[in-house]
Amino acid sequence: MNRRTALLAPLAFLLPFPALAEKIPLRTLSEYLNGLTTVEADFTQINSDGTISTGKIYIRRPGRVRFEYAPPDRSLVIAGGQQVAIFDAKSNQPPEQYPLKRTPLNLILAANIDLGRAKMVVGHTEDGTSTRVRAQDPEHPEYGSIELVFTSNPVELRQWVITDDLGQQTTVILGEMKKGGEMRASLFDITAETARRKN
């Protein structure tokens, strides 16, 4: 069993297998996402080159997310203040930054998520174990897309697959989510994190 298979095999046991699952309506999924204020979870990331990273994710809607990657990676990705910053652990240079609105992740970090919006959802399927929704920015489909994977009873976001503007895919699989707790604003402060790394 290779490393990738070994890491992913336990995840199969986390997903319930209802006999006859029904496709979860977009309105229900929108209400669920809008109800998420803060989320903390472990995650497993499958990168476009097949490598695997792990770490912890913090989400504070709207507009904020923090990916802390576990050793030996130690990279950090922060979204806050309408910007995304990628901190390379091996570099002492300032982080690479770009507007949050240019990434498909913006679609689930928005203040008001409406998956029923015209031309936003380009795929809505059910495969017997989960409901999958593929969404894009209706005004800028060239920014890429995000496929969200949900299980039902109760509705829960399990993973997402981002396809970027170059067609490369990154999958993020969420562990058990801790929802609704307090999160300090400094977790999502790009300027403060940049200053801290200079010292």
Q: Per the CATH hierarchy, to which homologous superfamily does domain 18-198 belong?
A: Lipoprotein localisation LolA/LolB/LppX (2.50.20.10)
Q: How many CB atoms lie within 10 A of CB 102?
A: 16
The type of residue at 72 is P
Closest CA to 143 of 170, 107, 104: 104
Secondary structure E strands in the chain? 38-46, 52-60, 64-69, 76-80, 83-87, 96-99, 121-126, 131-136, 145-151, 156-163, 169-174, 178-179
Q: 6-26 burial by CB neighbour count: b if 16+ within 10 A, else e?
A: eeeeeeeeeeeeeeebebbeb
pLDDT digit string (tens) for the chain, length 199 residues: 444 444 444 444 445 544 456 799 999 999 999 999 999 999 999 999 999 999 999 999 999 999 999 988 878 999 999 999 999 877 778 899 989 988 888 888 999 999 998 889 999 999 888 999 999 999 899 999 999 999 998 999 999 999 988 889 999 999 999 998 899 999 999 998 888 877 6
pTM: 0.84
